[in-house]
Amino acid sequence: MSTTVNRVGLPRDAYKGAATTLCAGCGHNSITNHMIKALYELGVEPHLLAKMSGIGCSSKTPAYFVETAHGFNGVHGRMPALTTGAHLANRQLIMLGVSGDGDTASIGLGQFMHMIRRNVDCTYIIEDNGTYGLTKGQFSATADLGSVQKKGAVNTFQPIDPCAVALALGCSFVARSFSGDGKQVVPLIKAAIAHRGTAILDIISPCVTFNDHDGSTKSYSWVKDHEESIADVSFIPYFEEVHVDYEPGTVRDVRLHDGSHIVLKKLGDDHDPTDRRAAIRVIEEGRAEGHLVTGLLYVDTNMDDFATTERIPQRPLKELGEEELRLDRDQFAHFMTEFA
Amino acid sequence: MTEPIVNDLTIQAATVNGSGSQTANLVLTRAIFHMGIPVAPKNVFPSNIEGLPTWYQLRITPEGHMARSDKVDILVAFNVATWREDLKTVRTGGVVIHEEAFSTADARTDLTYYSVPFAKLAKSKIQSDTLRKQLANMIYVGVVAGLLGIPWEAIEHGVKRQFLAKPKAVPVNLDAIKVGYDYWQDNFSKQDPYRLEPMTGAVEGKVLVEGNQAAALGALMGGVTVVAWYPITPSSSLCEYLIAYSDRFRVDEKSGEKLISVVQAEDELAAVGMAIGAGWAGSRAMTSTSGPGISLMAEFSGLAYYAEVPVVIFDIQRIGPSTGLPTRTSQADLGFVYTLSHGDTKHLVLLPGSVEECYELARDAFDYADRFQTPVFVLSDLDLGMNLWMTPEFKYPDKKFDRGKVLSKEDLEKLAGEWARYRDVDGDGVTFRTLPGTDHPAAGYFTRGSGHDENARYTEGADAYARNMDRLARKLETARHALPAPVIDEAGRKVGLIAFGSTDAAVREARESIDVDYLRVRALPLSDDVARFVSRHERVYVVEQNRDGQLYDLVRLALPPELVDRMRSIRHYNGQPIPAAAIVEPQQQQEMVPA
C-alpha cells in the first residue's frame, strides 16, 4: 500500500493535530483544515514550524494541526510579542500565529499594530467571528455597527477592521477571506507563509453557537450572500514551474521574495494589489455598499522584514556559544581599564 | 584654626537640573579618585529634564565608605530656590561656597562662607554664548579644587577621563575650571580645616562603575542574545549600555550581522513577552525595567513560571507605590516580585549587594534561568544602578554557559523519541525541554499557560494539576539550594543583623559602631542558612529600604515558631539611600528596649 506524500516525504496525516474541542460547525475548524491542506501542499517541515497563539477559541486551534510541531499558546492578546521574540531567536522558524477578533482587535490591538510596524516575518491569521465565544457571546470590537446579538442586544459601536488598520500602518501583506471559501483561503495561507514580513489574513469565521443568527454580519448566510471576491487567487510555490495560460490582461502575477508567485485572476473591477490606497478604497467602498470584500488586498514584496533590519544572522542565536558571545580575555581586561 | 581634616569630608553640590551640573560633579569625582582617595558619589536628581533642583553628594573617606552620609561638610550652593534649605544640612563648622548674589544676612553663623560671583565670572570669562550655561558649573569645580588643594594634574585627568569620547571638549572645560581655580587663589585665604591629600593603597586595582553598567556587562558575558525593553528610570541606562557594548562587541566584522538583538518594545508587556518568546526558542533573553514596568509584567511572568520558560528580568527599583518618586531609590519590590502574577506563582530572585555582584549575578542569572527553566529576577535599585561605585575590577568568568536540560536531536534518537516535556525524570523537579527547530518528529510539544499534563497536553484533571504544582514546588526547592548562598560575617556575637542589596554599604559602616554579626541575603527563596543564623543569635535585626519590612516578613515566615520572636526590624524609606546612622541609631534604641 502506498501513501501519497509531499515534497518532504510526509503524508497529509502528518499535518493533523489533536481532535478539536470547538463546537461542531465552527468556522475555525474549517480554517484548521485549510491550514492542514496548505502546510501539507507547501511541504513545510514540521520541526521548522512554530505555531503561536493568544487566548480564546481561535487560539486553541494550533493544537489541532501539525501535532509534531512546536506550539506556544500564550496569554490574551500577546501572541505578537512571543512571536517576535521567538523569531529573533531563530530566523529559520516559520512563524504561524493564530488569533481571534477579541485577541487582536481588543486586548491585543497594540501588539498587533506594533508587530506590523516592525514587519516581523510571520503569518498572522485572525479567526474573526465578531464575538467572544468562550465567555458566551459578548460583542467583540470587530462586530459591525447595528449587528444584533443572539439575545437581541444591538451593537452601538463602530467596528475596528483589522485589515483597514493594517493597511493604514503600511502592513506588507493584507488579505481577507471567509472560512467557508477554501478555494480562496488555502492559496492565501500559502502566500502569507511565503511572504517575507508580517502577513495579516483576516478570515471571517462564523461562530455557530453565538453569532450565526439573523441580524449578525458574521453569520454563514450573511457572508455567503455578501462576499465579493476581488480576484481569484492561486498560489504557485517556488518549487513548481509557473505556467500561466490565461488570456493576456486577465491576470496579475505577484512574485514573492522566495520565488513563489501569487496569480490573481480578475473578477469585476481590476484591483492592483500593490496599490495601498486602492486597497483602502476597496474596503471603504465595500463597506458603504454592504459587501464583504475578500481576496488579496495589498502586498509589498520589497519591504525589509524586522530581522533583516535588525541584521540578525540566519543562524539561530541559540547556537552561539561563549566564544562568540563573550568578550575575550584581552577585550575584557582592556574594558576594565576604561572604568578606571 | 582647628586641626586639619584630611580626606574625610562630604561635598554636596546643590544645582539646577539640566544645567550640565552632572558633568562638573563627575569631573570632580574622577579628579579626587585619581589622587588615590576613595570616593562615593550619590546623585539625587529630579524626574525632570530641566529646571528642578538636583543634588550631588560626593563622600570622601580614607576607609572607602560607600554609603550616603547624612552630614554635609562642604555645600556648593548654586541653586537659589533651595539654598536656604540646603544650608540646614551642613554640619557645624562646615563650609559653604555660594553664589555671591545669595544673601547671607541672617544665615547661620557657625559656618565658613566663601562667596563667589559665579554668574559674573561666567559672563565675563566664558566666551561661548552657547556653552556658557554648561560651563558655568565647571567654575565651581575650580573653586573646590582650590579650597581643598586638588592638584591641577588631577583636574586635568578628571576632565580627560570624563570626555573620553569627546576630546575636543577638554580644553574649553579646563579653561572654565581654571576660572574658578584662579578666583580661589586670588581672592581667598583658607579659613576652614578641610583638605585633600594624595593617598596610596586605597584605590589601587579599583574602578568606578555604575551598577547598570556592570549589569549590562554581566548580561553580555552571560551570553544574552535577545533584549527587549521599554524606557523607564532608573532602568533605561542598563539597556543603553547594552546597546553601546553590543555595537562594540557583538557585530560580525565581515558580514555586519549582529549577534544580539536589542528591541525597544511598545510597552513592558511586549518587552517581557518578546524576551519569553526568545527564551522559549532557545535564546538567552532578558528585559530590564522598574516598578511600574514590573506591575505590567505580572501576567507574562506567571506564564513563564507555569509554562517553564527561561527569562531574566532586571528590576532596578525606584520608590513607589504607583509612579511614586521616579528618581528615588527603594527596596520595596521584593515581596511583589517574589510572587509576581496570580495563582501560586513563585520566582527565583537574585539580590546583588554591590556593583561587582550586579556584574556577576547578571551574568549568572542566565545560567539559573536555563537550568531551572523559569524567570530569574535580578533586583537592583536606583542607588546601586545609577550611581558610580568604587569596586575591585571584575573577574573574567571561569565557567562555561549552563544551558540546562535540553534534549538535542541526537538525545531524542537515543531515547527513541520517548520523553515528556514535564516528566520529572531526575526527581529534582527540573524536566527536559526541546527547542523549536529540533529536527526530530518527537521534539515538538505544545507550550501553554493553561493546565497541562506531563506531555504538555491540555488537562483540567485535578490530580494532574496538583502533581504538576507539587513538582514546580520541588523545582523551586532544588533551585533554592543552588542559588548564591548568603554572605555571613560572624564571630559569636549575641546580636545579628540581616540585610540585602545596596543596604550592604550602610551596614558595613554601621558595624564600626554597633557590635553585630552580619548575614547578607543574596537570593530568594531564602537559604536555610538564614534560619540557622537566627538560631545562633539572641536578637536579629533585619535592615531594609522599604516601609513594611518585606524581608523581615519573609525571614519570619521561614523560621520555626520558637525563633520568630528574636526578629526585629529597621526600615528606611524616604527615597534617599540609607546612611549608616539610619541603622546605628534605631538599633541602639531598640537594644535598650527589653525583648
| B396 close contact with A: CB closer than 8 A | yes
- Which residues in chain B are closer than 8 Å to A333, comparing Cβ atoms? 396
The verdict on A23 touching B (C-beta cutoff 8 Å) is no
Chain A residues with CB under 8 Å of B224 CB are: 325
- DSSP secondary structure, A162-221, as one string: HHHHHHHTT-SEEEEEETT-HHHHHHHHHHHHHSSSEEEEEEE---TTTS-STT-SSSHH
Domains of chain A by residue range: 12-309
pLDDT in tens, B484-533: 999 999 999 999 999 999 999 999 999 999 999 999 999 999 999 999 99
Do the bridges between strand B53-60 and strand B9-16 make them parallel or antiparallel, or are there none, so unpaired?
A: antiparallel
**CA proximity to B507, closest of B486, B528, B492:** B486
The CATH number fitting domain A12-309, selected from 1.10.10.60, 3.40.50.970, 3.30.540.10, 3.40.190.290? 3.40.50.970
Instruction: Report yes or no: B442 at the A interface, CB cutoff 8 Å.
Output: yes
Q: In this structure, are residues B179 and B142 in contact, taking their beta carbons and an 8 Å threshold?
A: yes
Smallest Cα–Cα separation from B331: which of B9, B573, B529, B584? B573
pLDDT of residue A30: 98
Closest-CA residue of A relative to B164 is A338
B169, B174, B177, B178: CA torsion to nearest 10: -150
The pTM (predicted TM-score) of the whole model is 0.97
- Digitized pLDDT (tens) for each residue of chain A, 340 residues in all: 568 999 999 999 999 999 999 999 999 999 999 999 999 999 999 999 999 999 999 999 999 999 999 999 999 999 999 999 999 999 999 999 999 999 999 999 999 999 999 999 999 999 999 999 999 999 999 999 999 999 899 999 999 999 999 999 999 999 999 999 999 999 999 999 999 999 999 999 999 999 999 999 999 999 999 999 999 999 999 999 877 677 778 899 999 999 999 999 988 888 999 999 999 999 999 999 999 999 999 999 999 999 999 999 999 999 999 999 999 999 999 999 988 7
- B270 and A320 within 8 Å at the Cβ level: the answer is no
pLDDT at B68: 96
Strand order in the sheet with B517-521: B487-489, B517-521, B495-500, B539-544, B567-571
Amino acid at A265: K
* Residues contacting B152, CB < 8 A, separation 6+: B145, B181
Pick out chain B residues at pLDDT < 70: 1, 594-595
Cβ atoms of A147 and A161 closer than 8 Å: no
Q: What beta strand segments (E) does chain A contain? A: 49-53, 70-73, 94-100, 122-128, 131-132, 138-139, 173-178, 198-204, 227-229, 231-236, 251-255, 261-266, 292-299
Interface of A with B in 57-76 (CB under 8 A): 62-63, 66-75
Q: Which amino acid is at B406?
A: V
Cell numbers for A113, please give them. Answer: 499594530
Burial of B535 (0-12, 13-18, 19+ CB in 10 A): middle
Residue A300 CB coordination number (10 Å): 16
Q: Which of B66, B206, B63, B61 is nearest to B504 (CA)?
A: B66
Enumerate the residues of chain A whose CB falls inside 8 A of the CB of residue B281: 50, 85-87, 89-90, 93, 316, 318
Q: What is the value of ipTM here, to two decimals?
A: 0.97
Cell of B570: 529597621
Find the radius of gyration of the CA atoms of chain B: 27
Can you count the helices (H) and strands (E) in chain A?
12, 13
Phi, psi of B72 (to 5 degrees): -110, 135
The answer to whether B225 contacts A78, with C-beta atoms less than 8 Å apart, is no
Q: Cα(B273)–Cα(A78) distance, rounded to whole angstroms?
A: 7
Cβ-based neighbours of A283, under 8 Å, separated by 6 or more:
A161, A163, A164, A167, A293, A297
Count CA atoms closer than 13 A to B60's CA, side-chain side: 28
For residue B156, give the H/E element and its range.
Answer: helix B152-162
Name the residue among A257, A246, A179 with its Cα closest to residue A218.
Answer: A179
List the domains of chain B with CATH numbers.
Answer: 5-204 (3.40.920.10), 209-392 (3.40.50.970), 409-482 (no CATH), 487-592 (3.40.50.920)
Tell which residue, B588, B524, B522, B98, has the closest CA to residue B347. B524
Check CB contact under 8 Å for A86 and B438. no
pLDDT, position B522: 98
Number of A–B residue contacts, CB under 8 Å: 222
Task: Tally the C-alpha atoms within 13 A of residue B405's C-alpha that lie toward its C-beta.
Answer: 20
Query: What residues of A are in contact with residue B305 (Cβ under 8 Å)?
Result: none
Which of A72, A317, A324 faces B283 most closely, judged by CB atoms? Answer: A317
